[in-house]
Amino acid sequence: MTRFLNAGALTALTLLCLPLSVAGHEGTVFANRAACLARAEELPDFAFEEAKLWEKQGAGTDARLCQALALLLRGDWLLAAPALEASAAEMTRESVSMRANLFSRAATAWSNAHKLSEAEAAFGKALDLTPRDTQILMDRAIARAGMEKYWDAITDLDRVVELAPKTSEAWLLRAQAHHVLALDAKSLVDVEEALRLSPQSGEALLLRGNLRAAKSDMIHAKQDWEAVRRVAAGSPAAAVALQNLNALDRAQTEQKRELKKKKEQ
């Protein structure tokens, strides 16, 4: 699953940085770190060049952080990822949560650049700092699943379920991983819990329908697929559910045709 940065996420990081922003100096490009980050959020291309000049004026660490985030916001994943990791490693006086946040953003950039092994490593650095962060654990599980490291993904998701048992997405992700590994009994247990927590989840309903179909429970499979089309209309899950329903209809029509031929013989 690709995860893209949104403006609200950067605003949260800006607020996190505010207490540690450098004091402003007359004549410098930016008064402080927060001003540069706000500029990056608004106009990342301009902010990147301005932050480079600000670095030459002596802003140092703050300027390099701003450059890294500007690269991220303009979608230069391959440049943003190492720059963010470098900032996280450099800013040893910052809070643990802020540094973990930067490593996690670097991992997101690596993921968006389809460099999943690098993303996994960056998520690991973030988790070394904040091992109980369930969102980072889920993000690393997604990266690991993308690398077909399903058992490692399940290990991360086991931890999320332990720390935050009401996180429906974790139950669903683990159900999907179990299904890929042909552990359908475990997958069904997980998806049932995901649906208990989020009854309107189109992806969970689709998976449960598929699991039921694998057990030849076509009546309940059809009910789940029809529910997907109601609760998640227009989604990829709804499109797959429609394909399944059409395939089921064709199979049942063919079955009736065969039965009719036998009766006529």
Q: What confidence score (pLDDT) does residue 26 get?
A: 52
Q: What confidence score (pLDDT) does residue 20 get?
A: 38
- Among candidates 213, 226, 263, which has minimal Cα distance to 255? 263
Q: What confidence score (pLDDT) does residue 27 get?
A: 64
Q: What confidence score (pLDDT) does residue 129 get?
A: 98
Instruction: Please give the distance of CA 244 from its chain centroid, rounded to a whole number.
Output: 26
Name residue 246's amino acid: N
Domain architecture of the chain: domains with CATH: 1-130 (1.25.40)
Q: What confidence score (pLDDT) does residue 28 get?
A: 79
Q: What confidence score (pLDDT) does residue 121 get?
A: 97
Largest CA distance in the chain: 97
Query: Are 99 and 115 within 8 A, CB to CB?
Result: no
Q: What confidence score (pLDDT) does residue 135 get?
A: 97
Three-state secondary-structure class, residue 1: coil
Query: Are 65 and 47 within 8 A, CB to CB?
Result: no
Per-residue pLDDT of the chain (265 residues), as tens digits, is 434 344 344 444 543 443 333 334 456 789 899 999 999 999 999 999 999 999 999 889 999 999 999 999 999 999 999 999 999 999 999 999 999 999 999 999 999 999 999 999 999 999 999 999 999 999 999 999 999 999 999 999 999 999 999 999 999 999 999 999 999 999 999 999 999 999 999 999 999 999 999 999 999 999 999 999 999 999 999 999 999 999 999 998 988 888 877 777 6
- Separation CA 32–CA 85 (nearest Å): 21
Q: What confidence score (pLDDT) does residue 230 get?
A: 97
